[in-house]
Structure 1
Amino acid sequence: MFAPGANQLAAEFGITNSTIAAMTVSIYILGFAVGPLFIAPFSELYGRLIIYHLCTVFYFAFTLGCAFSTNTAMFLVFRFICGCAASGPMTVGGGTVADTTSEEKRGAAMALFSVGPLLGPTIGPVIGGFVTENTGWRWTFRIIMIMSGTLAIPSFYFLRETNGAIILERKAQRLRKETGNPHLVSKQGSTPRSRQTFSHSIVRPTKMLIFSPIVLLLSLYAGLIFGLIFLLFTTFPNV
């Protein structure tokens, strides 16, 4: 949504380097690459619900920061953190769909879940163009902030934990406390240690990227597509 306003931001902050000007848009997607490395293991340790809530709060706060940034460095840092926070729902969303739907209905649910990431880059710049033209680039972030804040309020009340292992482990912890029996464990066993989970979440994708041709090819394809999308976002406003 911000892409059409990149030129306005560059003019306001005096950005003359074309690479830095392009980074004001593309650094957001870098957060999508870095965020899941930490979000995925945290969701296995502490559940999906806390990830949704934390990512919502961080996204709201740093979108507010983007809207009121006063220099390029501040904007780039806030924009990167927004990307990391925005990657949260995409990282754990598939797991939530799997937790809450049967195998027969999971395909349709995943297709519906995938519509958001597909429509966002398509509709966002169109809306952002009108907003930027009439009210300026800062209002693109203010509108995003208002919408995310509005949607966050019911999510804090109605969303519940869906990770089965976390639910069972918390139930076992409650029973251990109530009964005084330290040997009670959940059916799936205790949750793994933090160091083990983090190392596993980083090493396993790296191994798959190196040793699995299909993963490598699909990753290269996805990287090419994302690169083309953001190349168009950063060049079309100049045409």
Structure 2
Amino acid sequence: MSEQTIALVTGANKGIGYEIAAGLGTLGWQVGVGARDEQRRESAVAKLRANGVDAFGVPLDVTDDASVAAAARLLETGAGGLDVLVNNAGVTGGGRQRPGDVDLAAVRAAVDVNVIGVVRVTEAMLPLLRRSASPRVVNMSSGVGSLARQSASAGEHQTGPLSVAYGPSKTMLNAVTIQYARALARTNILVNAACPGFTATDLNGFRGVRTPQQGAAIAIRLATLPDDGPTGGYFEDAGVIPW
């Protein structure tokens, strides 16, 4: 394992993912920019390097087994290992998601990337993380994944639009986060879910009220937790989010 902390951020070629990579890079970390699109990936790497970040590209499609396996090999042989995994790549699923008018393809797309993709990448990277002195896994969730905030009893505190694709996929991601935290409780791997808030990205047509840099802050905080930090939690800038 390299003495330099090594992080992989999926979906890091733009938006919140890019800002997470930039923020971790300012700490002196080596950052893998995970992304499918070669041109956007290499453009992001070049921009990060121009700003002094030790960045490198990681070809990565979280929906493809072979791509994820190749990314793990690249990190092991090229970078020397992995200390921090930020599962940031995500999609809305597109299509119709309102109950009563649902495009099942939208549900499949959201779950494939936001849940199965996270499991696929995490499973592939766990052998590398186990060798790290202070490994961290951060899963980028959303406030709409909170059942407490989505429930009818939440009243005026309800959050997000009606959806049976994107929102529920983040709820399932939260459940997956808990399961990994439970399984790894006797190890030094801390696993947490992060909510960036309503951030202006292409995911929401840039309708968000927070900047990508603001949205990245919680992920950076969880990626840099001390060894006695929390695991199995769900956090936003203001603190703990009810599940």
Give your verdict on TM over 0.5: no
More helix by share: 1
Larger radius of gyration, structure 1 or 2?
1
Normalising by structure 1, we get a TM-score of 0.28
1 or 2 for the larger relative contact order (CA 8 Å, sep ≥6)?
A: 1
Q: Which has the higher strand share?
A: 2
